[in-house]
Amino acid sequence: MISAFVNRKPWATVTLALIIDPLIGMLFLGQGRKALFYVAVGIVLQAFPYVAAHYQVVDMEIDLMAGLGTLTIKTLGAIHCYSVSKKTQGQVPEVWFARWYWMISMVFIAPVFFAILIRTFLWEPFNIPSQSNLPTLKVGDHLFASKFTYGYSRYSLPLDMPLISRRILYNSPERGDMFVFKSPADGSTDFIKRLVGLPGDTVQIAGGILHINGKAIVRRRIEDYIDTDYRGNSRHTPRFNETLPNGVQYEILEAEGDTAHFDNTEMFTVPEDHFFAIGDNRDNSSDSRSFGFIPTKNLIGKMSSVYWNSVRKKIHFFE
């Protein structure tokens, strides 16, 4: 058995491809370019479920979709590795990456590399620990924010490494976006809020009603939001449908009517390269009403999807 691996026999290569990954199988055969191909396949494989769901290519649970994708690639990759192994007949080029210790390292390095690459440039996962964005986002929701929507800054990088001095590939957020950003207060805490004020806007809450540029935002009362407290008692909270000037609609909660602490604020004028954001749970949210404006450099990404919670386990994309 050991000699089969030493001599790079076809069945040994297939075993590595099926149990670990076709990438390892190609490294085992000294096929650098083909191994790079499977690096690209690994990146696409991790991104595919979210892209497919977004464009409604398939309607399937994310775990099942990812599992079927992995099984398909491993099967086709194993066949590919077998074919290459038969052609090379155990003759492997003298290359560094075909040595056993480099292959073992890749078993651990490749998944981390893929995850860092995707989290940095494509999507980053977050979870919701509070009720500040009810009813849109619930406690326990697991989310993806698209990093490429607004471009990249130091806060796009792992550990907020200061390798990018200014925002690059920048696209301005739109009013109504649910977006992730670093707190302007400490530059480290992640917040998820709804953007309502763009640079140059005036924003004010008066009698519980949101005003933008001096005009009251239209909202209408809809059915109460009902949830259950820790004792099992049902709670009814007034819920409204709110429509921004650009037509974006969403639901908000007003737990304490129009007399809560932040239901009557000063008038805020949003400075250049800054934004104003508030939570959809208007009486239970720490947001720009308390910590101020959000600098462009603090943007992380636009909230794109809920990929898991205790109720719905299919991907749900935000408009």
Q: What type of residue is 40?
A: A
Catalytic pick from 147, 193, 297, 302?
Answer: 193
Instruction: List the one residue out of 307, 245, 299, 254 whose CA is nearest residue 280.
Output: 254
Q: Are 240 and 210 in contact (CB under 8 A)?
A: no
Instruction: List the one residue out of 201, 228, 160, 225 whose CA is nearest residue 288.
Output: 201
Active site residue 146: no
Active site residue 132: yes
Runs of H (alpha helix) within the chain: 2-6, 10-19, 22-28, 32-54, 62-88, 100-121, 288-291
Catalytic pick from 34, 74, 85, 132?
Answer: 132
* Residues tagged active-site: 132, 193
